[in-house]
Amino acid sequence: MIIVQKFGGSSVANVKKIKNVARRIVSTKRKGYDVVVVVSAPGDTTDDLIELAGKISKIPSRREMDMLLSTGEQMSVALLAMAIHELGEDAVSMTGYQVGIITDDVHGSAKIEDIHSGRMLEELKKGKVVIVAGFQGKTPNHEITTLGRGGSDLTAVALASVLKAKVCEIYTDVDGVYTTDPRICKDARKLDEISYEEMMEMAALGAKVMQSRSVEVGKKYDIPILVRNSMNHTQGTLITKENKKMEKVLVSGVTINEDEAKVTLLKVPDKPGIAAKVFQKIAEKNINVDMIIQNKSTTNYNDISFTVMRSDLKRSLPVVREAANLVKARGIQVDDKIAKVSIVGVGMKSHSGVAAKMFSALAEKGINIDMISTSEIKISCVVDGRRGKDAVKVLHKKFELGKKSK
């Protein structure tokens, strides 16, 4: 039986931690499982490499960025394989390229199209632990790609699905998935279980503990995902199918995303087809737009605001300027100090008044709401970036998510 174990960057940040991870893997192997391991780059390596590239080029080539960033994970797999050898077990490290993780050619946020399991299965049969570099793949034309930030989670879940693994274990630096980021709210509560849907929303809305697309894949192929701490043996959080127990909870979690920026096109003529033109231009550059708001004023003009990842802002602006000229907007405004704060819960489907409760909690603390978006199981508000963490604390309290209230 195969188990996939993924270790995040913080779990392999130094020699002591790499040795700790090796011990955990060997103990799983010695229980009789075939183990496939996915590892991230050590500590802050990916951020450091991005910063390094920024010192050389303002808008670096996307292809060369992938070439650079994929090296971080390559370090981890080799070191971890050596650490396992030292413990007397056989292990082999592999890059995404060597495994045959085939992706499309969207550098920086490539989508996995196919995974060759042959070589991994061969190595497992020889009794080896297979250690795969997370976050990377290759195009059919042999170009190296990366899967977007946090992409090692996706590598792990995708491997678990092709290998038909029993479980995909995600080892990180907290005990599991909490009601909110435990670094922001000291009384955040660890959840024993969370549904795929809620975890997908929480991840998409900023809960960095899991990458959103990885949970989507887990849901699609019905892979149980267990989030655990690599430094202790506590139970963790199981990401699984929605069940009756979960529906009883109105709000499961609060999230914050501080990685977005808001762009506004001012005074755009109010005519059909304008929004289509603007967002088509942006989509052509593979830039993801998140929230969109169009305010119809009493004049014949609209303001159109939207948010993009702050890391995409620099390369978005030339396209946005082009689009603004095309639709004869009066100007562009950029606000890169925003925070998007959200509440998530499957229980919202069947309850009303949740939005009002959220807005009044923010109002009581004098936190102004800039943009709002909702879906069946979430409500998001964009607020001033300087008040983001306050907003999280207020909402966590208002919806009684903390330890003491239970």
Interface residues with ligand ASP (CB under 6 A) are: 8-9, 40-41, 46, 72, 134-135, 149-153
Q: Name the residue nearer to ligand ASP (CB basis): 41 or 225.
A: 41
Question: Is residue 8 part of the contact set for ligand ADP (CB under 6 A)?
Answer: yes
Q: How far is the CB of 197 from ligand ADP (least distance, A)?
A: 15
Angle at which helix 388-398 crosses helix 354-364, to 10 degrees, equals: 130
Cα(110)–Cα(4) distance, rounded to whole angstroms? Answer: 22
Cα(264)–Cα(259) distance, rounded to whole angstroms? Answer: 17
Cα(158)–Cα(185) distance, rounded to whole angstroms? Answer: 32
| Contact partner, 108, from ligand ASP, Mg ion, ligand ADP, none, Cβ < 5-8 Å per class | none
Cα separation values, 262 from 210, 241, 283, 291, 383, Å: 24, 34, 16, 9, 11
CB-nearest residue to ligand ADP: 8
Given the DSSP bridges, would you call strands 237-240 and 260-269 parallel, antiparallel or unpaired? unpaired
Q: How far is the CB of 145 from ligand ASP (least distance, A)?
A: 13
Exposed, middle or buried by CB within 10 Å (0-12, 13-18, 19+), for 360? Answer: exposed
Q: Name the residue nearer to ligand ADP (CB basis): 84 or 170.
A: 170
| Contact partner, 41, from ligand ADP, ligand ASP, Mg ion, none, Cβ < 5-8 Å per class | ligand ASP
Q: Which two tokens stand for residue 236?
A: 């963790």
Q: Which two tokens stand for residue 64?
A: 């060369």
- Considering all CA atoms of the chain, what is the largest pairwise distance in Å, rounded to the nearest integer? 75
Q: How far is the CB of 240 from ligand ASP (least distance, A)?
A: 22
Residues 127-186 that bind Mg ion (CB under 5 A): 150
Question: Is residue 9 part of the contact set for ligand ADP (CB under 6 A)?
Answer: yes
Q: How far is the CB of 230 from ligand ADP (least distance, A)?
A: 8
Residues 128-187 that bind ligand ADP (CB under 6 A): 150, 172-174, 177-178, 180-183
| Contact partner, 174, from ligand ASP, Mg ion, ligand ADP, none, Cβ < 5-8 Å per class | ligand ADP
Question: Is residue 253 part of the contact set for ligand ADP (CB under 6 A)?
Answer: yes
Cα separation values, 345 from 43, 181, 375, 383, 391, Å: 31, 16, 10, 20, 17
Interacting residues with Mg ion (CB under 5 A)? 8, 150
